[in-house]
Structure 1
C-alpha cells in the first residue's frame, strides 16, 4: 500500500470516527442514531450518545456535544462507564453553542424534557432524567424543563444517588418548571461531594437543590433561584462546608431548609435574598416548619430590594430571559446565565 493511499485512508477513518478526546455529537434535527457521532454525522438522541459513551475506555475526557433542538427523554439516562478504570475520567454533556459565545441566542440552547413515567423506586416512586453514576460529571449550557407526563408526581432532571461519588458540576443551565403542567420537584438531587453550581437559573421549580447525604465541598455561585414553592435549598445536617456567593434568591416559600434539631453555622455572602415567604426552616415528617433558632453568618447579604427578571411579554423569549434587568436589586452581582457576555 502506498504511503499516499495509507494517509488518505487514515484521514478518512479519523474524520468518520469520534475524536481521540472521546467526543460525540448529537443533533435532534439532522442526526441519525445509526450515525458515527461525529460533528458532520451526529446521532439523533441523547439515549444513543449516552449508550455509545458508556463503551469508551480511554483516559481522555468524554464529551457529548449537543446541537440546538428538543431532546425528549422517555427513560432514565444513566451516566456511567463500563470500565472501572475510567470512572475518574471527566464526562461532560454540553451545548455546542454556549451562552457566552457571540452567536448564542435562546433558540440555540438545547432543551431537555422528560416524558418518562416513574423510572425509579428508590425511597419512593419518581422519575429521573439523568442518573449520575460516576465521578466528575458536568452539564453545561443546557435548558431543562419539567416532566409533561401527567402520571408523574416527582421529577428530578439530575440525580446522584451514590453518596460516595465526587464531582458534579452544573454551569450556565436553566431549570424551568411549570407546576400546573410540567413540574420539577427538585432540579438537582445529589448526595456526595463536590457539587458545584455556577451561573445557573432555577425558575418555578418546587425545589432547586436537594442535598442530604455526605455533602462536602458544595458551591452555589452567581445563580438565580426564583419561584421555588417549597424551598430554594434543602441541606443535610452539615455546617459551613460550602460556598454560597453572588446569588439571587427571591419569590420562594423557604430559602433554606435544614435537618430537624440542628443549628449549623452556615455562611452566606454577597447575595440578595429578598421577597421570600420564609428564610430558614427545617424539614419534618409533615413538611417544612419555620425555624425559631438560627445560627447562620451573613456577609454582604441584602434582604430588601425589588428583584426584576427579564421575562416573556409579547415578543417571545428576550435574549437575556430570566436574567436580572439592569434596574433590579443585585444586578451588580453578575448572577445569571452569562459569565463574560454582557446582557
Structure 2
C-alpha cells in the first residue's frame, strides 16, 4: 500500500511538472509572438504624409522617419517601405549627394500601393541639372558591389547582377550618376561578368522614364556593361549621358511589340558595344535629337530584323558598323539590312571623327558637348533648358 501511494504521488508530481512546462512554453511562445509583432510593426514604418522619402547615405539612418530632417540611409530601406505600404498616390524618393553602394539588388515591387501616370513613383536626386545651384558633384552616385550570381529572367547565370530593379509601372528615375561594378568583365572566352544598373523585367509593365542621368563606365576599372535593360511598354530615355559604357539602352522583351518607346536628347560617347538595341520596340519608336560618337555599333535590331525605324535630327560620328541584328551579352549578332534604320535628311553620319567634350571637372558642363562645337546645336545632354 505504501509503494502504491508513493507511486501515485510521483506520477502526480510528474504530471504537475509537465503542466508547468507546457504553460511556460506557451508563455514563452506568446512573448516571442508579441516581440515579433512589435518589431514588425516598427519595421513597417508609415510613409511620410507628404509622400516624400529622403535618403542621405552619410547623415541618415534606416530607423528614421524618412523626412527631410530625419532621412533614411539606404535605398534598400526606401524600397522596402514602399513595397510594404498600402494606399495610392504619388511617392517620391529623394537622394542626397553621396555614394550609394548596392551590395544586393534594390527592387521596387509594391503590391498594395497604386500608382498612375499622373501619380507615379519618382526616384530622383535632390539637386537636378537644371537647378541654378547644381554641379556634377551633387549627383548621387550609384555603384553595384553585390556578388554576380543573379538569375536574370529565372535563368541560371553566375556572371550577372542587377542594380536597381523596377518591377512596376509609372516610374521616373532622374538625376543620378550610375556606375557599373568593379569586375574583370571577360576573364575567359565565352564568360562575361556583367552588371545591369537599371532593369525592368516585366513584359506587361508600362511607363518607365529615365531622364537626366549620367551613366559612366571604365572597361578596365568599373565596366558598365548595359546601362538600361528594360522590358514592356512605354520606355522613354531622355537627356541622359552614356560615357564609355558597353551598351547604352536595350529595349529587351515584351508580351507584344513595345509601343510608345522613345530615345531623345541623349549623348552616347565611346561605347564599345551597341548604342541602341531595339529588340522589343514597335515601329512607332521615336529616336531624335541624339548624338552618338565613337560607337562600336550604332543600332542592333531584333534577330528577325523585321521592324523598321526612323532616326531624326541626330548625329552618328565615328562608328565601326551602323546596323546589325540579334546578338546578346556575348556578341553583337549578325549583319542586318541597313535600310531597316531610315535616316532623315537632318541626320549627320560620319564614319570617322569625334565630338568635343568638356573635360574640366569644375565645369557645370562637364562631360557635355562644348558649346559652339560639332553637335552642340542638337541639344543632347543632361540639360533640358
User: Structure 2-normalised TM-score?
Assistant: 0.79
Contact 2:323 2:341 in 1 (8 A): no
Q: Which residue of the partner structure matches residue 258 of structure 1? A: 301
1:279 match: secondary structure: strand
Q: Helix, strand or coil: the match of 2:87?
A: coil
Q: Which residues in structure 2 correspond to 1:65-214 (within 5 Å)?
A: 65-83=94-112, 86=114, 88=116, 90-122=120-152, 123=155, 124-125=157-158, 126-149=160-183, 153-214=193-254
Unaligned runs of 5+ residues in structure 1 are 1-15
Instruction: Give, in angstroms, the shift of residue 263 of structure 1.
Output: 4.2
1:10 corresponds in structure 2 to none
* Matching residue of 1:303: 349
Partners in 1 of 2:99 and 2:316 — Cα distance? Answer: 33
CA-based RMSD: 2.1
Per the TM alignment, residue 87 of structure 1 is displaced from its structure 2 partner at its CA by 5.2
Give the ranges of 4+ consecutive aligned residues of structure 1 lying more than 6 Å apart after TM superposition.
Answer: none
What SS does the aligned partner of 2:178 have?
Answer: strand
Instruction: Determine if the alignment matches structure 1 residue 334 to structure 2 residue 334.
Output: no
Partner of 1:20: 49
CA distance in 1 between partners of 2:63 and 2:252 (Å):
40
1:32: which partner in 2?
A: 61
1:294-341 CA-to-partner distances (Å, cap 9, x unmatched) read 2322221111364111125xxx4532111101243110111100111x
Residue correspondence of structure 1 range 39-58 to structure 2 within 5 A: 39-58=68-87
Per residue, is there more helix in 1 or in 2? 2
The alpha-carbon deviation at position 21 of structure 1 amounts to: 3.5
Q: Quick one: distance in 2 between partners of 1:233 and 1:241?
A: 15
Distance 1:90 1:147, change over 3 A: same
Is the Cα–Cα contact under 8 Å of residues 237 and 264 in structure 1 kept in the other structure?
Answer: no
Q: TM-score, normalised by structure 1?
A: 0.88
The Cα shift of 1:292 comes to 4.8
Q: Which shows bigger deviation, 182-191 or 16-25?
A: 16-25
Equivalence for 1:232: 275
Partner secondary structure for residue 275 of structure 1: strand
* DSSP-derived class of the 1:216 partner: coil
Q: Does the 8 Å contact 2:226/2:245 carry over to 1?
A: yes
Aligned-residue offset at 1:150: 5.1
Distance (Å, rounded) in 1 between the aligned partners of 2:79 and 2:370: 37
Q: Which moved more, 1:25-34 or 1:47-56?
A: 47-56
Question: Which digits, 9 at most, give the CA deviation of each residue in 1:115-141, with x for residues without a partner?
Answer: 011252124341000111111111111
Q: Flag structure 2 segments of 5+ consecutive residues without an equivalent.
A: 1-44, 186-191
- In terms of mean alpha carbon deviation, does 135-144 or 262-271 score higher? 262-271
Q: State whether residues 140 and 172 of structure 1, in contact with CA within 8 Å, keep that contact through their aligned partners in structure 2.
A: yes
Counterpart of 1:321 (choices 366, 369, 380) is 366
Work out which of the two has the higher radius of gyration on C-alpha atoms and give 1 or 2: 2
The answer as to whether partners of 2:47 and 2:85 remain within 8 angstroms in 1 is: no
1:112 Cα offset (Å): 0.6
On the 8 A contact 1:76/1:119 being kept in 2, the answer is no
How many corresponding residue pairs? 321
Corresponding residue number in structure 2 for 1:270: 313
